Amino acid sequence: MSNHTERVAILGGTGLVGRRLASLLINHPSFELAMVIGSDSSAGMSYRQVWAQKERALRNHYGEFWREDPFPPQLDTVQVSNLDQLLRSDCSLIFSTVHERYGYLEEQLRKDGRTIFSNSPYKRFHDDVALIVPEVNGEILHGKRFIKYPNCVSSGLVLVLAPLKQHYGLREVVITTYQSLSGRGDAKYPAHLVVGNVYPLHASPEATEEYIRKELCAVLRTSCPTSACCNRVYTQEGHLVEVGVKTERRIDRVEDVRDILASFDPLRSYELHSSFTPPLFLVTESGRPRPAQDSQHSKGMAVAVGNLSIDDEIFDLRLTYVINNLIRGAAGGILLCAELWKHQKKTEAVNATACVGG
């Protein structure tokens, strides 16, 4: 391990987001993957074996359209561990991708003194938890030890709305989502509901619409009324979201909006490993953005925005964006939070040393 890297563990590391996060940690300059934590039934198994089983199960369930994510050979020596092994380890920084019903494990690790970066809905809206999208409200990371990242739709939505809020103000926001099947992780929808189909999430066990409304208010620190209508579509990766906005101040030219979005780049000077600035990628081609073509910009960390229009009888602005739900919307998002957190700690230490020396 390099003197500059910190040993980390992934709680829920055998799940779909956990697997993607493990890939992102390969050769990371700040963090070294020390442990992958899974269930007691998978503990002791090789990570390669568990990975292959879960990828194959998704393909077998959804059919040939599903592409298996190949196992990275750099992780060949990794074995799956359990929670007890993690508690006995020296890993003080934990990435968590567990389902909300296993959130009590995060609480246990928190009480044990670990720092947690999580995209689990567990305690996402509690007052003592920091809900962070680094480019939007990363300044409140300072001193926090329990950091949450919002729903994959919300994490893209606040990136788009933050510069609009600054320049025009927000009165109302209406969104309709077309979310890929991978947004549910390794959990599988009955094939007959989703294969070649669109599956509305309203009134389903998934509280996505409620999460979006709450997360928008929390991250942007606004009480702007928001309406969300969410759907699953027969796509593997990448969520497409239609957005309608009523603004407080008049938008005179759509070109101005395009320039505002393209220049939004709050992390430009930080040089974080996972920050491919700017975070918004503007597309002008008709019929885009589309998940298959636009979910991989900047290795999945940029949100593709297009279809900008101020010619509407209801909204002051309409647009469409595509977010990679597994990278920017989940694994890459919490990793970026951790990178900014570590950068802030390093800066604080340097400043403290300078004050003592001065």
- Give the pLDDT band (50/70/90) at residue 353: low
Q: Is the pLDDT of residue 279 over 70?
A: yes
Q: Is the pLDDT of residue 357 over 80?
A: no
Please give the Cα distance from 339 to 334 (Å, whole number): 9
Query: Looking at residue 104, what is its pLDDT?
Result: 92
Residue 74 CB contacts under 8 Å (≥ 6 apart), including other chains: 26, 27
Three-state DSSP state, 209? helix
Average the pLDDT over each of 3-7, 41-45, 77-81 and give the range with the smallest value: 3-7
Residues 143 and 169 in one domain: no
Q: Is the pLDDT of residue 2 over 60?
A: no
Please give the residue range of the domain that contains residue 87.
6-150+331-356
Q: What is the pLDDT of residues 42-64, one digit of tens each?
A: 999 999 999 999 999 999 999 99
Q: What is the pLDDT of residues 134-181, one digit of tens each?
A: 999 999 998 899 999 999 999 999 999 999 999 999 999 999 999 999
- Give the pLDDT band (50/70/90) at residue 75: very high
Please give the Cα distance from 66 to 249 (Å, whole number): 45
Here the CATH number for the domain that contains residue 221 is 3.30.360.10
Q: What is the mean pLDDT of residues 293-322?
A: 98
Residues 192 and 119 in one domain: no
Specify if 230 maps to a domain: yes
CB 96 within 8 A of CB 71: no
Specify if 29 maps to a domain: yes
Residues 141 and 197 in one domain: no
Terminal CA-CA length for the chain: 33
Residues 116 and 233 in one domain: no
Q: What is the mean pLDDT of residues 188-195?
A: 93
The phi-psi region of residue 327 (left if phi > 0; otherwise alpha if psi is between -120 and 50; otherwise beta) is alpha
Q: Tell me how many degrees the CA angle 2-35-182 measures, rounded to the nearest 5.
A: 115
Q: Is 300 exposed, middle or buried (0-12, 13-18, 19+ CB in 10 A)?
A: buried
Specify if 281 maps to a domain: yes
Q: Is the pLDDT of residue 106 over 80?
A: yes
Residue percentage of the chain with pLDDT more than 70: 97
Specify if 1 maps to a domain: no
Q: Is the pLDDT of residue 205 over 70?
A: yes
Residues 297 and 264 in one domain: yes
Here the CATH number for the domain that contains residue 347 is 3.40.50.720
Query: Looking at residue 1, what is its pLDDT?
Result: 47
Tell me how far the alpha carbon of residue 88 is from its chain's centroid.
29
Give the total number of structural domains in the chain.
2
pTM: 0.95
> Which two tokens mark 230?
């969410």
Q: Is the pLDDT of residue 114 over 90?
A: yes
Average the pLDDT over each of 2-16, 136-150, 219-233, 271-285 and give the range with the smallest value: 2-16
Specify if 133 maps to a domain: yes
Looking only at Cα atoms, what is the longest distance across the chain? 69
Specify if 76 maps to a domain: yes
Specify if 197 maps to a domain: yes
CB 89 within 8 A of CB 119: no
**Which carries the bigger pLDDT value, residue 221 or residue 354?**
221
Residues 118 and 163 in one domain: no
Please give the Cα distance from 232 to 200 (Å, whole number): 6
Query: Looking at residue 275, what is its pLDDT?
Result: 95
CB 7 within 8 A of CB 91: yes
Kindly report the average pLDDT of the chain as a whole number.
Answer: 95
Residues 163 and 39 in one domain: no
- Give the pLDDT band (50/70/90) at residue 349: confident
Q: What is the mean pLDDT of residues 124-135?
A: 93
Residues 202 and 60 in one domain: no
CB 351 within 8 A of CB 151: no
Specify if 211 maps to a domain: yes
Q: What is the mean pLDDT of residues 201-219?
A: 94
Residues 289 and 225 in one domain: yes
Residues 137 and 174 in one domain: no
Residues 162 and 282 in one domain: yes
Three-state DSSP state, 46? strand
Q: Is the pLDDT of residue 207 over 80?
A: yes
Residues 298 and 156 in one domain: yes
